[in-house]
């Protein structure tokens, strides 16, 4: 780690392959560190027409075991269980959530359940887990939604300072897997550009591992444009 840090130029903007190589070498913790991306965007999310939100299906997966909850009844509940959902329920599940019992990382709901789920906004909202049709988590196709969540779908939402953070893989991934995930994620964010965004949309892109330093990445080496 010391050698990596000594050879790291904090001001340099690295081409994607070199950036990936550097952060993998810096990931020297005893656990499998998460590879994280940070994007500084030219938006002010205080304005509704500058909000950036979406979902990205990472081609190499996230490397993370995701626990999925589905609010559904009847056949749709059975479909969710068959698809591998960890928690399935309706009003009784809502009661558990109200009590602070959140044994899941992602939340999906069928449209007919939103009257129940809508009351959980104060609990799920701050955790970024409120189902939303814009990111495919309010849907009748619960089978596909569960498969997507389990397979590496990552939701993103711009923060107050115009920054998006997300985990896009693990240090144990190959360089190509990390690179493909970075490209897919950046592409998804660019496609989610809101109508109110003016000027330069993506200002900076940086990669890091959980315990490692941040490395600036050349946007053109990611997008090819």
pLDDT for the residue 160: 86
Across the range 186-205, mean pLDDT stands at 94
Q: How far apart are CA 71 and CA 113, in angstroms?
A: 6
pLDDT for the residue 165: 94
Domains of the chain in start order, with CATH, are 10-62+153-223 (3.30.190.20), 68-151 (3.40.50.790)
pLDDT for the residue 11: 81
pLDDT, tens digit, 9 for 90 and up, residues 138-152: 999 999 999 988 888
Split at pLDDT 50, 70, 90, the class of 224 is confident
Retrieve residue 48's tokens: 């509704």
The predicted model scores a pTM of 0.80
pLDDT for the residue 65: 86
% of the chain surpassing 70 pLDDT: 96
Q: CB–CB of 64/80 below 8 Å?
A: no
Q: What is the mean pLDDT of the chain?
A: 91
pLDDT, tens digit, 9 for 90 and up, residues 67-107: 999 999 999 999 999 999 999 999 999 999 999 999 999 99
pLDDT for the residue 6: 59
Q: How far apart are CA 170 and CA 160, in angstroms?
A: 27
Across the range 126-134, mean pLDDT stands at 90
Across the range 206-210, mean pLDDT stands at 93
Q: Comparing C-alpha atoms, which of 173, 150, 162 is closest to residue 199?
A: 162
More confident residue, 123 or 213: 123
């Amino acid at each position: 780690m010391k050698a990596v840090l000594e050879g790291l130029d904090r001001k340099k903007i690295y081409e994607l392959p070199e950036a990936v190589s550097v952060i993998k070498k810096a990931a020297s913790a005893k656990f499998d560190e998460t590879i994280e991306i940070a994007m500084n965007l030219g938006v002010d999310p205080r304005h509704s027409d500058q909000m950036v939100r979406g979902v990205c299906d990472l081609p190499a997966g996230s490397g993370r075991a995701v626990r999925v909850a589905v609010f559904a009844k009847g056949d749709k509940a059975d479909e969710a269980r068959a698809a591998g959902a960890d928690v399935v329920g309706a009003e009784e599940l809502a009661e558990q959530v109200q009590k602070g019992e959140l044994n899941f990382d992602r939340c999906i709901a069928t449209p007919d359940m939103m009257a129940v789920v809508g009351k959980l906004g104060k609990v799920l909202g701050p955790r970024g887990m409120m189902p939303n049709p814009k990111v495919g988590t309010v849907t009748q196709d619960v089978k596909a939604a569960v498969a997507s969540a389990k397979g590496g779908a990552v939701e993103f939402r711009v923060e107050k300072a115009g920054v998006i953070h997300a985990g896009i893989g693990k240090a144990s991934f190959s360089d190509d897997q990390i690179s493909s995930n970075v490209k897919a994620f950046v592409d998804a964010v660019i496609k989610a550009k809101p109508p109110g965004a003016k000027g330069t949309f993506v200002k900076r892109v940086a990669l890091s591992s959980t315990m490692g330093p941040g490395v600036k990445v050349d946007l053109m080496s990611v997008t090819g444009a």
